[in-house]
Structure 1
Amino acid sequence: MKKVLIIILILTFSCSQKQRNADVVKFEEVLGERETKCLNLLVSDFEKNLNKIYPDLSVEKAYQQYLTDMISDATSDREKFKFQSRETNIEFHQSGLWKDIYTKDSVDGLQVNQAGKYMKALYEIKSSDALINNYWKARNAVGMMQNAIVVSGILSNDPNFRDYFHKRIVVLEFSF
């Protein structure tokens, strides 16, 4: 009986992992090759910064702490949240990823680009995960949101910061 249960668990995990990999491929195809490479650079810079400011925490716990500190009234050093290297910031703009995510409005300032490839890529995979689905719905309905609302929304959806998409949502949400 135990062997059957173990086999079922392995098969279930294997199928869900294959689906997740297919979702990553679909997301990256819609986003584009250069934009995906840029997004990966942003994640790398973000995680290097996490390691610098939270050296004693695992990457997963550091993501959680970053979000908590981001909205904490006790946090006085806002500079620690800046994570992009100069090179990555240049690529963020030159790759077109910034324009896929944001638009500048002379009246309202920075706005979400609802028609960009990032929103389209999220739309393609939103049904695969509650956090992605809820994030896409909120961003599509509201656009730019205050940090406290974003953080609360992410944390209330039980994020897994080993997950490809959960990491990228956090990183892009705090990349301007």
Structure 2
Amino acid sequence: MTKTIKIINSLLIGFLLIGCANNKTITEFERILGKENSKTLTYLVQDFENDFLADEYPNLATDESYERFLEELIDGNGRVWQEISNESRERFAKSTLKYEIYSVPDSVWIERDTNKLELSYSNIPMVKTRLKVLIPDGTFEYNFSESSFNYKEPIDEDSIIKQYMNYVNVNYVGSYVRALNSIPNKSRFLVNYLNIRDAAGIISPVIIASRMLDSKVDFNDYFIRRLIVTEIAY
């Protein structure tokens, strides 16, 4: 066997080992996330690629389309939510996956009785939100949050409540974050992303896009594509 053939064989074996390791990582990620949640997430990724990216950037390869999408988002030219199909938005809204990723408002009201506010220093009304949190045993817990707002009478309560009902927070115990944490040999970007998410909660899509581009992430990567879809598209 010549030296050249030995080198080629070594490279082939190396690629096979890397491929097997990647497949094992994806399998474990999907096991933790759950079968139905994984199917939903794969559907959302494929729909984003085939319905949105392909229409927006017909002359680019898929990985190049992801990169261009992030660049335009940072420049303020990106448009995505209004372009996502109603079918996909409804599927995500009704899915368990949504609750695995986010804690979702269950009810919102304006609390005027300052004795009922956790923030004892507050002497003005605040927006109180009850958040529905899916926990690992499949049941829901409820957390409460308080937020200040531009208080000025008369208050348009319906408008404020509608606004806060659209806000979500991170589900810190959901299968999504547990699946992400299970990934071995995380990239620097993924490590930083998880640390920021754990400390600060929801991250601005523009910040995520900027950090991905600065980190020169691989847009062919299974996990990077899913992060773009969950953190930016939806």
5 Å matches for 1:14-163?
14-48=16-50, 49-73=52-76, 75=77, 79-104=79-104, 106=129, 107=146, 109-163=167-221
Report which of the two structures shows the higher radius of gyration computed on alpha carbons. 2
1:60–1:162 Cα contact (<8 Å) kept: yes
1:72-120 deviation line (CA, Å, top 9, x unaligned): 04x2xx5445443222222213221111111235245321111111000
The alignment partner of 1:145 has SS state of coil
TM-superposed deviation, 1:33: 0.8
The alignment partner of 2:46 has SS state of helix
AA at the equivalent of 1:167: R
Q: Which segment is superposed worse, 85-94 or 125-134?
A: 125-134
Q: Percent identity?
A: 29
TM-score under structure 1 length normalisation = 0.88
1:168 is aligned to: 226
2:8 is aligned to: 6
Distance 1:133 1:86 in 2: 33
TM-superposed deviation, 1:126: 4.8
Distance 1:50 1:113 in 2: 28
Aligned residues: 173
AA at the equivalent of 2:177: M
TM-superposed deviation, 1:166: 1.1
1:102–1:112 Cα contact (<8 Å) kept: yes
Structure 1 or 2: larger helix share? 1
1:101–1:112 Cα contact (<8 Å) kept: yes
The alignment partner of 1:88 has SS state of helix
* CA spacing shift, 1:142–1:127, aligned 2, 3 Å: farther
1:103–1:111 Cα contact (<8 Å) kept: yes
The CA RMSD over aligned residues, in Å, is: 1.9
Distance 2:79 2:207 in 1: 21
Structure 1 or 2: larger strand share? 2
Q: Which runs of 5+ in 2 are unaligned?
A: 106-128, 130-145, 148-166
Distance 1:25 1:55 in 2: 31
Query: Higher relative contact order at CA 8 Å, sep ≥6: structure 1 or structure 2?
Result: 1
1:131–1:159 Cα contact (<8 Å) kept: yes
Q: Which runs of 5+ in 1 are unaligned?
A: none
TM-superposed deviation, 1:21: 0.2
